[in-house]
């Protein structure tokens, strides 16, 4: 029955003179999200709302699911469109709508009319009163409540007449692309895809870097990371994923440095390489899935040690999250099932039995001097040989 | 060079099997149940396959049920026998080293109120006939023992087991999972004293998605798939004509010059093991002589996790399995290796090498070279 969606957006509305930039970005993201959906859509901006009309037949559930992935959308109202064929016909259409949507009529309601087309013969107040009266007459079980109704029935007089009464939740946040770009350190775990999601939610476009270590990590582990990026791309738009072969660097550190410091030093080099790519592609910060104290390399001391090598900000949106809270988000956004597939990533495979939890920066720096001979060349090679995969959202589950 | 040594996981479909499948798909595509000529053509493929397979088994053509593969054959044998005979008793016997396609239906039956005796194996993976005898009671309705173990290639004394079962309880049925044995050995179920025998097509250079269960005449089992009553009600569903045709052709080819092929496989195995005699880090599991399966080697490599070794070999186009690839990619410790009381090291660091007659001594040499180069490198970087 629905032929259109009215999109409500929150924060964008208060962005002053930049407002049109945010709205245009939101329209762009909506169009991108609707591209794989069966059907054709017209997306327009009018009077402070975004309005999506389906041109012909379309898959309602698919369209709704896609819209619910677009950051910046606070609410989605499925709209019934009626031709303007006089008030009598309008009253019939409204009654039919109520009958179809609310089989149980023991509810309170209020009619809320907006006249975008001021040439309509009745005023908004007149329409409210007249439609309300007729509905009460047709469905005696209905009651009017103008302060706190169960059903807020909106009637908007535009070129066509719009009837809607429900607002389904959108994901909130801000349209991707309105807040610069960030480089996500993506692993196959639970946390990093969630971190990417959360930063993208604030309007940041996401690039990503993945470190793999063949033969210690498998092709399947890499495929898993691509699959995770695909899911994040449903929300964040296409992701440029850099795949860096990290084996030689890892081995070299393993050979030259104390084993309990391996993870910290490894992460410092990952940060350095990620920062290189970030600068190269105009990302303004790094994004990680770290959370204080979750593992040895995420204590305050360890974070300080890895942070030290970065010249650009490192955003850690999960920093105060417990594991259960992170899992809850990953289940909500659909990455959890993929994250828990059992393939090794390069962080876990060489982990020491007792890694340092309170690394001393001076000692770490001194250990890194053992790498002087070859590390620059190795980092250069890793950067040069990195593969770039453009990951597009895959609408299949 | 490429060396595909994962033939116990699956094999390349033979050209002959592929060709007959293409015919069955594109020309003789009729439904065998259709009454017209096109249907007859489809049925002809099934008759041909049935004839070819029964010749290898020395079985009657009425004793064969085509299935979707080894897993279904095992399920049909076990669940079908249990359902048909539960009034005679609720006791089943199997071993601790069965493939999940046997152990999982057994555990399902345990949940349904049957009791199951799980036979131990020795360090070579062999059951004790003594323990088998002791386990059989008047309540026993089914014994299921695999012919060749898929992980370490242990070969069970099937004929002796059959005699032991008959002696204790002539009414008990004997099922043999021969998925790794069919096509490697001459297997004549009647002579062996076997009532039910499972085999799979894609382990013998046939297509995936086909297999059969031999059901000795007058053996009481119930179907587990219900529908249109095809295959005398034992397995409803339109026959997978191309798959069955491919399986029939592959079976025929597998048994051409069997002795020569077997000899060749043993030579590959012996060359492989001889090539590793001079290193300290390689330890075969189970028996390695001609009393073991010709095509399977289970090898523990000290200090290198199996997954890592597998990927290192893969970089040089050598393809092997970690433990048993057939049991999906869950990194659970192998139950066979646990049952033969292999150490913790073996559970983490065992690969399976499995040959087919198409493999060559050159490939073995190549693989040995790759192993000897890769393993010492990888050992340096094991978890400290």
Contact B329 A342 (CB under 8 A): yes
User: Which residues in chain B have their CB less than 8 angstroms from residue A216's CB?
Assistant: 308, 311, 381
Contact A215 B310 (CB under 8 A): yes
Q: Which of B307, B313, B314 is the closest to A344 by Cβ?
A: B307
How many C-beta atoms surround the C-beta of residue B124 within 10 A? 16
Residue-wise pLDDT tens digits, A172-215: 999 999 999 999 999 989 999 999 999 999 999 999 999 998 88
Is a pLDDT exceeding 90 seen at residue B107?
yes
Average pLDDT value for residue range B146-155: 97
Q: Which of A254, A352, A353 is the closest to B381 by Cβ?
A: A254
Is residue A341 very low, low, confident or very high in pLDDT (cuts 50, 70, 90)? confident
Of B116, B168, B125, the closest CA to residue B148 belongs to B125
User: Which residues in chain A have their CB less than 8 angstroms from residue B308's CB?
Assistant: 215-216, 349
Distance from CA of A305 to the nearest CA of B (A): 23
Average pLDDT value for residue range B157-179: 97
Q: What distance in Å separates the CA atoms of residue A188 and residue A221, rounded to the nearest whole number? A: 7
Contact B308 A214 (CB under 8 A): no
Contact B311 A216 (CB under 8 A): yes
How many C-beta atoms surround the C-beta of residue B343 within 10 A? 11
Q: Which of A217, A342, A350 is the closest to B383 by Cβ?
A: A350
The pLDDT value recorded for residue B333 is 74
Residue-wise pLDDT tens digits, B35-63: 999 999 999 999 999 999 999 999 999 99
Is residue A14 very low, low, confident or very high in pLDDT (cuts 50, 70, 90)? low
Is a pLDDT exceeding 50 seen at residue A327?
yes
Distance from CA of A270 to the nearest CA of B (A): 19
Number of A/B CB contacts below 8 angstroms equals 35
Is a pLDDT exceeding 80 seen at residue A11?
no
Is a pLDDT exceeding 70 seen at residue A224?
yes
Tell me whether residue A148 is exposed, middle or buried, using C-beta atoms within 10 angstroms of its C-beta: 0 to 12, 13 to 18, 19 or more.
exposed
Candidates B303, B311, B328: best to mutate against A (most CBs of A within 10 A) is B311
Among chain A residues, the shortest Cα distance to B383 is held by A350
Is a pLDDT exceeding 60 seen at residue A38?
yes
Residue-wise pLDDT tens digits, B286-334: 999 999 999 999 999 998 888 889 999 999 999 999 864 434 445 567 8
Residue-wise pLDDT tens digits, B258-268: 999 999 999 99
User: Which residues in chain A have their CB less than 8 angstroms from residue B313's CB?
Assistant: 215
Q: Which of A68-72, A118-122, B6-10, B103-107 has the lowest mean pLDDT?
A: A118-122
Contact B308 A215 (CB under 8 A): yes
Contact B311 A214 (CB under 8 A): yes
Q: Which of B314, B331, B383 is the closest to A215 by Cβ?
A: B314
The pTM assigned to this predicted structure is: 0.82
Q: Which of B308, B380, B384 is the closest to A216 by Cβ?
A: B308
Contact B330 A350 (CB under 8 A): no
Q: What distance in Å separates the CA atoms of residue B32 and residue B43, rounded to the nearest whole number? A: 5
Cα dihedral B341, B347, B351, B353 in deg (nearest 10): 20
Among chain B residues, the shortest Cα distance to A217 is held by B308
A297 DSSP assignment: G
Please say whether the beta carbons of A2 and A79 come within 8 A: yes
Q: Which of B314, B331, B383 is the closest to A342 by Cβ?
A: B331
Of A67, A105, A90, A92, the closest CA to residue A162 belongs to A90
Q: What distance in Å separates the CA atoms of residue B381 and residue B384, rounded to the nearest whole number? A: 8
Distance from CA of B309 to the nearest CA of A (A): 7
User: Which residues in chain A have their CB less than 8 angstroms from residue B331's CB?
Assistant: 342
**Cα radius of gyration rounded to whole Å, chain B:** 21
Contact A350 B381 (CB under 8 A): yes
Catalytically active residues of B, by annotation = 326
User: Which residues in chain B have their CB less than 8 angstroms from residue A352's CB?
Assistant: 384
Please say whether the beta carbons of A341 and A231 come within 8 A: no
Among chain A residues, the shortest Cα distance to B329 is held by A342
Q: Which of A220, A259, A344 is the closest to B384 by Cβ?
A: A259
Per the prediction, chain A carries an average pLDDT of: 91
Three-class secondary structure of residue B69 per DSSP: coil
The pLDDT value recorded for residue B382 is 65
Distance from CA of A260 to the nearest CA of B (A): 10
Residue-wise pLDDT tens digits, A136-177: 999 999 999 989 999 999 999 988 899 999 999 999 999 999
User: Which residues in chain A have their CB less than 8 angstroms from residue B381's CB?
Assistant: 216, 251, 254, 350
The pLDDT value recorded for residue B326 is 39
Candidates B309, B310, B349, B384: best to mutate against A (most CBs of A within 10 A) is B384
The pLDDT value recorded for residue A19 is 82
Among chain B residues, the shortest Cα distance to A340 is held by B330
Is a pLDDT exceeding 50 seen at residue B209?
yes
Q: Which domains does chain A have, with CATH numbers?
A: 4-169 (3.30.2130.30), 181-391 (3.40.50.620)
Please say whether the beta carbons of A354 and A260 come within 8 A: yes
**What residues of B are in the A interface, CB distance below 8 Å?**
307-315, 329-331, 378, 380-381, 383-384
Residue spans of alpha helices (H) in chain A: 19-34, 60-67, 87-101, 124-138, 191-201, 219-236, 247-256, 262-280, 300-307, 323-333, 336-339, 346-349, 361-369, 372-385
Contact A251 B381 (CB under 8 A): yes
Distance from CA of A342 to the nearest CA of B (A): 7
Contact B311 A344 (CB under 8 A): no
Per the prediction, chain B carries an average pLDDT of: 94
Is residue B135 very low, low, confident or very high in pLDDT (cuts 50, 70, 90)? very high
Segments of A158-204 assigned E as strands:
161-164, 168-169, 181-185
Is a pLDDT exceeding 80 seen at residue A343?
no
User: Which residues in chain A have their CB less than 8 angstroms from residue B315's CB?
Assistant: 214-215
Of A292, A26, A320, A28, the closest CA to residue A170 belongs to A26
Q: Which of B311, B313, B381 is the closest to A218 by Cβ?
A: B311
Q: What distance in Å separates the CA atoms of residue B232 and residue B370, rounded to the nearest whole number? A: 52
Please say whether the beta carbons of A93 and A1 come within 8 A: no
Q: Which of B307, B313, B384 is the closest to A218 by Cβ?
A: B307
User: Which residues in chain B have their CB less than 8 angstroms from residue A351's CB?
Assistant: 383
The pLDDT value recorded for residue B13 is 98
Is a pLDDT exceeding 70 seen at residue A15?
no
Average pLDDT value for residue range B134-148: 98
Contact B308 A349 (CB under 8 A): yes
Residue-wise pLDDT tens digits, A274-292: 999 999 999 999 999 999 9
Cα dihedral B44, B47, B53, B55 in deg (nearest 10): -110
Candidates A215, A248, A342: best to mutate against B (most CBs of B within 10 A) is A215
User: Which residues in chain A have their CB less than 8 angstroms from residue B325's CB?
Assistant: none
Contact A214 B315 (CB under 8 A): yes
Is a pLDDT exceeding 60 seen at residue A118?
yes
Q: At what angle do helices A323-333 and A191-201 cross, to 10 degrees?
A: 70
Contact A215 B384 (CB under 8 A): no
Q: Which domains does chain B have, with CATH numbers?
A: 3-11+257-380 (3.90.1150.10), 15-254 (3.40.640.10)
Distance from CA of A264 to the nearest CA of B (A): 16
Distance from CA of A353 to the nearest CA of B (A): 8
Distance from CA of B343 to the nearest CA of A (A): 20
CA atoms within 13 A on the CB side of A39: 23
User: Which residues in chain B have their CB less than 8 angstroms from residue A259's CB?
Assistant: 384
């Amino acid at each position: 029955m629905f032929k259109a969606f009215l999109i409500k957006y929150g924060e964008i509305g208060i962005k002053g003179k930049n407002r049109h930039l945010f709205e245009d970005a939101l329209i762009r993201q909506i169009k991108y999200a609707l591209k794989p959906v069966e059907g054709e859509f017209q997306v327009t901006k009018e009077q402070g709302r975004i309005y999506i009309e389906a041109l012909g037949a379309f898959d309602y559930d698919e369209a709704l699911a896609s819209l619910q992935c677009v950051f910046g959308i606070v609410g989605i109202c499925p709209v019934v469109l009626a031709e303007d064929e006089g008030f009598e016909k309008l009253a019939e259409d409204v009654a039919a709508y109520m009958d179809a949507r609310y089989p149980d009529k023991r509810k309170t309601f209020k009619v809320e009319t907006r006249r975008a087309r001021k040439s309509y013969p009745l005023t908004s107040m007149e329409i409210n009163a007249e439609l309300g009266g007729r509905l009460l007459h047709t469905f005696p079980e209905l009651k009017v409540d103008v302060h706190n109704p169960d059903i807020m029935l909106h009637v908007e007089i535009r070129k066509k007449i719009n009837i809607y009464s429900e607002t389904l939740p959108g994901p909130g946040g801000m349209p991707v692309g309105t807040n610069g770009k960030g480089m996500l350190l993506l692993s196959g775990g639970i946390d990093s895809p969630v971190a990417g999601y959360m930063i993208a939610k604030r309007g940041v476009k996401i690039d990503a870097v993945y470190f793999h270590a063949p033969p210690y990590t498998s092709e399947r582990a890499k495929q898993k990371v691509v699959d995770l990026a695909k899911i994040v791309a449903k929300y964040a738009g296409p992701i440029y994923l850099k795949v860096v072969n990290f084996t030689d660097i890892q081995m070299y550190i393993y050979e030259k440095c104390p084993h309990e410091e391996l993870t910290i030093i490894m992460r410092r080099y990952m940060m350095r390489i990620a920062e290189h790519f970030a600068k190269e592609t105009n990302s303004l910060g790094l994004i990680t899935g770290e959370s204080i104290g979750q593992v040895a390399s995420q204590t305050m001391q360890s974070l300080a040690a890895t942070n030290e090598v970065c010249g650009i900000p490192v955003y850690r949106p999960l920093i105060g999250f417990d594991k259960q809270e992170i899992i809850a988000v990953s289940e909500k956004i659909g990455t959890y099932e993929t994250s828990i597939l059992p393939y090794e990533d390069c962080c876990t495979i060489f982990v020491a039995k007792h890694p340092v939890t309170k690394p001393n920066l001076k000692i770490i720096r001194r250990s890194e001097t053992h790498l002087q001979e070859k590390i620059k060349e190795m980092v250069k090679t890793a950067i040069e040989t990195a593969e770039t995969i453009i990951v597009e959202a895959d609408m299949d589950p | 060079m490429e060396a595909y040594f994962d033939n116990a996981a699956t094999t390349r479909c033979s050209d002959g099997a592929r060709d007959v499948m293409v015919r069955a798909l594109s020309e003789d595509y009729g439904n065998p149940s259709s009454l017209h000529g096109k249907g007859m053509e489809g049925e002809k493929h099934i008759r041909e396959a049935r004839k070819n397979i029964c010749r290898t088994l020395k079985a009657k053509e009425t004793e064969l049920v085509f299935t979707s593969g080894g897993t279904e054959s095992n399920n049909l044998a076990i669940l079908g026998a249990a359902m048909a005979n539960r009034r005679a008793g609720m006791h089943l016997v199997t071993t601790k080293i069965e493939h999940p396609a046997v152990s999982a239906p057994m555990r399902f039956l345990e949940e349904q109120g049957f009791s199951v005796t799980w036979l131990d194996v020795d360090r070579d993976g062999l059951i004790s006939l003594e323990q088998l005898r002791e386990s059989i009671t008047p309540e026993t309705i089914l014994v299921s023992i695999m012919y060749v173990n898929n992980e370490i290639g242990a070969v069970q004394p099937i004929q002796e087991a059959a005699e032991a079962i008959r002696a204790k309880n002539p009414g008990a049925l004997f099922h043999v999972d021969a998925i790794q044995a069919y096509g490697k050995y001459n297997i004549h179920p009647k002579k062996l004293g076997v009532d039910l025998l499972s085999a799979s097509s894609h382990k013998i250079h046939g297509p995936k998605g086909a297999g059969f269960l031999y059901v000795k005449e007058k053996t009481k089992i119930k179907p587990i798939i219900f529908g249109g009553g095809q295959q005398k009600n034992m397995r409803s569903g339109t026959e997978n004509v191309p798959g069955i045709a491919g399986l029939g052709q592959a079976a025929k080819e597998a048994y051409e010059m069997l002795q020569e092929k077997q000899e060749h496989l043993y030579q590959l195995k012996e060359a492989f093991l001889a090539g590793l005699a001079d290193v300290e880090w390689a330890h075969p599991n189970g028996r390695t002589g001609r009393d073991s399966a010709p095509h399977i080697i289970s090898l523990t490599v000290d200090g290198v996790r199996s997954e890592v070794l597998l990927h290192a070999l893969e970089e040089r186009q050598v393809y092997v399995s970690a433990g048993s690839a057939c049991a999906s990619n869950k990194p659970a410790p192998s139950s066979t290796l646990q049952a033969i009381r292999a150490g913790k090291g073996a559970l983490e660091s065992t690969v399976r090498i499995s040959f087919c007659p198409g493999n060559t001594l050159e490939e073995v040499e190549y693989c040995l070279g790759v192993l000897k180069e890769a393993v010492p490198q990888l050992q340096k970087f094991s978890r400290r």
